Amino acid sequence: MSALPNAGPRPAAPPALLDELRTLLGDRLSTSAAVREQHGRDESYHAMMPPDAVAFATTTEEVSAIVSACRRHRTPVIPFGTGTALEGGVAALTGGISIDLSTHMTGVLRVSTEDLDCTVQAGVTRKALNEHLRDTGLFFPIDPGADASIGGMAATRASGTNAVRYGTMRENVLGLTVVLADGRVIRTGGRARKSAAGYDLTRLFVGSEGTLGVITEVTVRLYGVPERIAAAVCAFPSVKAAVDTVIQTIQSGVPVARIELLDEVQIDACNRFSKLGLPVEPHLFLEFHGTEAGVAEQSEMVGALAAENGGTGFQWAARAEERNRLWEARHNVYYAGLALRPGARIWATDVCVPISRLADCIVETKADVMEAGVLAPIVGHVGDGNFHLTIVLDPDDPAEMARAEAINARLVERALAMGGTCTGEHGVGTGKIWAVEREHGEAVDVMRTLKAALDPDGLMNPGKVLRMG
């Protein structure tokens, strides 16, 4: 299931195309092995499949010219952001040209402090955007952990720790500039906060992972930096006690900004990697945003729920440095997992279930992991019902891969049976095509119809999201 389902014959890109692109881009076209390899894999266990060349684009018009040239030469196009994805979405399964959007397309084109929105080139990363916004009193909340590009986050419908309060890229992208498979450039959406003006093309391209077009510019919502931010950690006697606290928090409507679960295995890894010094027990990491009074009220309500569930050692991190240290550790769970076993890679699962089923889903999954004897810390955006096993493994060991594959398959089936989804935020890439088919059944045919209509030659990031014919 992790293999390359659509990997057919793999012709090299025609020399005439490379000549054409070299004329267009000069030394911004690279065919060096190191560059191609860097663009042929993401941070996951998925195999590296280098493109034939990497085109470092500077403008939407240039992306359009590259896509048009590729189309004339019937050569695949694979958009590339920061390469921090987890489902093999950038692998050049059948060769082709990787369009790197994050090296030169890093301009913040417009910020409106009055309208709380901005437009950026696709390669601006979330940290770079927030750095740019530093003196405006505004921030961009979507935070998948990695310092991903805004274009890549839109393409994969990313979310992360703040989504429980601020939503995902689905809710926060207002409009896009997209280069279509035939090289045409369209603008979708706009700057109005709502619109009923025709089909929602913005939401169609958000999450399409480069298979319908290349996102080159993104307009996103911004938010005022809260008057008050307070973070806290709390230990629990069991994962179930922690998750029950989350469920009750969500059901009470407390507008918590972040509520993250780290199980005892994950805490142990974080203690080693990030020197946290926390007791090796399941923890919630929390953050509250609001006015002074609002944050006080929220934290009191959640503190009471935690206490009822046996939570202990509620520690506050009100100062920015303490908060940053906490979230830095949270963001580094991936690398903390990797550090548990030098040379290993991570297979990250990503189910998301209705909140009422979350405790059952995690408890059953944890039992399954124990039974299989696999090293797999659990971390999760549990306010959304979303959690990850980060299975630490050697991708070259077939037995380890088979165990991980079996755990993932059982987890997906468990989540689907509970009314959930196979991927809350990591996307489909090559790794979850089978799971999307399980989840959406007949509706996948409709997705194929849309793909065929917008990319009739099948050249836009082929072999991702859907199995075509």
Residues in contact with 85: Cβ distance below 8 Å, sequence separation at least 6, in sequence order: 42, 43, 44, 148, 152, 156, 426, 427, 429
Q: Would you say 105 or 155 has its CB closer to its own copies?
A: 155
How many CB atoms are closer than 10 A to CB 239?
23
Angle at 349 between CA 348 and CA 355, to 5 degrees: 135
Rg (CA), the chain: 22
Residue type, 369: V
Report the residue from 23, 103, 195, 315 that binds its own copies according to the rule CB under 8 A.
195
Report the residue from 23, 252, 312, 315 that binds its own copies according to the rule CB under 8 A.
252
**What residues numbered 262-281 form the site for its own copies, per CB under 8 A?**
none
Residue type, 14: P
CB of 192 to its own copies, least distance (A): 4
Q: Which segment (9-17, 40-48, 192-200, 265-273) binds its own copies by CB under 8 A?
A: 192-200
- Is residue 188 close enough to count as binding its own copies by CB under 8 A? yes
CB of 124 to its own copies, least distance (A): 20
Q: Would you say 215 or 374 has its CB closer to its own copies?
A: 215
- Is residue 187 close enough to count as binding its own copies by CB under 8 A? yes
**What residues numbered 346-385 form the site for its own copies, per CB under 8 A?**
350, 352-356, 384-385
CB of 302 to its own copies, least distance (A): 13
For 215, the 3-state DSSP assignment is strand
Burial code (b: 16+ CB inside 10 Å, e: under 16) for 126-136 equals: bebbbebbeee
Report the residue from 65, 142, 259, 465 that binds its own copies according to the rule CB under 8 A.
465
**What residues numbered 414-453 form the site for its own copies, per CB under 8 A?**
419-428, 432, 435-436, 439-447, 449-453
Q: Nearest 10 degrees: CA dihedral of 324, 330, 331, 332?
A: 110
- Is residue 458 close enough to count as binding its own copies by CB under 8 A? no
Binding-residue pattern over the window 97 to 136 for its own copies, x denoting contact by CB under 8 A? ---------------x-xxxx-------------------
Based on the number of CB atoms within 10 Å of its own CB, is 371 exposed (0-12), middle (13-18) or buried (19 or more)?
exposed
Distance from first CA to last CA of the chain, Å, rounded? Answer: 17
Helices (H), 186-289: 201-205, 239-251, 264-274
Q: How far apart are CA 450 and CA 465, in angstroms?
A: 12
Residues in the interface with its own copies (CB under 8 A) total 89
How many CB atoms are closer than 10 A to CB 453?
9
Tokens in use for 414? 């468990």
Report the residue from 30, 60, 208, 249 that binds its own copies according to the rule CB under 8 A.
208
Q: How far apart are CA 459 and CA 469, in angstroms?
A: 14
**What residues numbered 14-43 form the site for its own copies, per CB under 8 A?**
none
- Is residue 240 close enough to count as binding its own copies by CB under 8 A? no
Binding-residue pattern over the window 37 to 76 for its own copies, x denoting contact by CB under 8 A? ----------------------------------------
- Is residue 469 close enough to count as binding its own copies by CB under 8 A? no
CB of 182 to its own copies, least distance (A): 10
Tokens in use for 76? 């695949």
DSSP sequence for 63-111: HHHHHHHHHHTT--EEEESSS--SS-TT--BTB-EEEE-SSS---EEEE
Q: Would you say 29 or 164 has its CB closer to its own copies?
A: 164
Q: How far apart are CA 422 and CA 16, in angstroms?
A: 42
Q: Which segment (24-32, 75-83, 152-160, 266-274) binds its own copies by CB under 8 A?
A: 152-160
Report the residue from 13, 180, 265, 333 that binds its own copies according to the rule CB under 8 A.
180
Q: Would you say 150 or 180 has its CB closer to its own copies?
A: 180
**What residues numbered 389-418 form the site for its own copies, per CB under 8 A?**
none
CB of 26 to its own copies, least distance (A): 29
Sign of the alpha-carbon torsion through 318, 319, 322, 328: positive
Long-range contacts of 25-29 (CB under 8 A, 24+ apart): 25/55, 25/56, 25/57, 25/62, 25/66, 28/55, 28/56, 28/57, 28/58, 28/104, 29/53, 29/54, 29/55, 29/56
Least Cα distance to 385 among 411, 367, 359 occurs for 359
CB of 318 to its own copies, least distance (A): 20
Q: Which segment (13-21, 180-188, 338-346, 387-395) binds its own copies by CB under 8 A?
A: 180-188
Report the residue from 8, 224, 237, 313 that binds its own copies according to the rule CB under 8 A.
224
Q: Would you say 201 or 340 has its CB closer to its own copies?
A: 201
CB of 295 to its own copies, least distance (A): 11
